[in-house]
Chains A and B, each alone.
Chain A
Amino acid sequence: MDNKEKQVLVTAISMILIFGGYSLYVYNNYISEDLNIINDFKFWGKAFLILIPVSIVAQIIIHIVFAIINKIVTNEDMPAITDERDKLIELKTIRISHWTFLFGFFLSMGSQAMGMQPWVMFLTLILSGFISAMVSEVARFYFYRKGF
């Protein structure tokens, strides 16, 4: 497994851990105490706004730690440049991620069109964001491993 594939795996695993940990934290500290909060727009606004910076900072830290551990274990540096193949894979995965998220967005709007409660829309939106990011990492891994 080359360094790019390892990087993708680290991103995917850290994404699951960050999203899972954050969801658990929000559930234990807010939702379990007052179930009515799930229909509060302010709650969802805060939940989204906090998740984004937390996720970015955690990903940066995890990748720095991974690069250090990888250097110690394999004595190999992470690729410093992004070449044409990386850019092409990036474009392809962004397209897949975009369509996946768009599908989730339509589902979330559909839930409102059908008169469901607001929490269904927010949950669908946050889940489609997570799933589209995961699908993008799986596609990236596939393109690096199998070619295209």
Chain B
Amino acid sequence: MSKTGKISKFSITNNIRKLRFHANEMTQQELADKTGVTRQTIVAIENGKYVPTLELAFRIARLFNTPLEEVFSFNSEEDPNK
């Protein structure tokens, strides 16, 4: 990011855990099965260790019937040196 824009650091957070809870306490395994990934990948996404591809992000959002922005949030910091 720093090569082309002013954003130096960014993080992507998500509300998947909360959305699962509101979806009849859906388990990680159920979400994994419905989105075609392993439970370990869902665990990694929830813990912020893995940022999913756009395809998987849309699949998760569609499953919860919510816009993508309500599932994932993009947080960036402006680089003070730029």
Q: Is the interface of B mostly helix, strand, loop or mixed?
A: loop
Asked if B44 is an interface residue, CB under 8 A from chain A, the answer is yes
Residue in contact with B38 in the complex, picked from A81, A146, A147, A148, CB distance below 8 Å? A81
Q: Are B40 and A4 in contact (CB under 8 A)?
A: yes
Query: Known contacts A2-B43, A147-B44: does B50 contact A83 (CB below 8 Å)?
Result: no
Q: Give every chain B residue within 8 A of A147 (Cβ-Cβ).
A: 44, 47-50
A45 at the interface (CB under 8 A from B): no
Whether, in the assembled complex, A71 has its beta carbon less than 8 Å from a beta carbon of chain B, the answer is no
For the complex, what is the distance from the CA of A81 to the CA of B40, rounded to whole Å?
A: 11
Tell whether, in the assembled complex, residue A81 and residue B36 are in contact, meaning their CB atoms are under 8 Å apart. yes
**Does A3 touch B at the CB level, under 8 Å?**
yes
Is B37 touching A83 in the complex (CB atoms < 8 A)? yes
Is A115 located at the chain interface by the 8 A CB criterion? no
Cα A81 to Cα B34 with chains together (Å) = 13
A63 CB contacts on chain B under 8 angstroms: none
Residues of chain B having any CB pair with chain A under 8 Å: 36-41, 43-44, 47-50, 52-53, 55-56
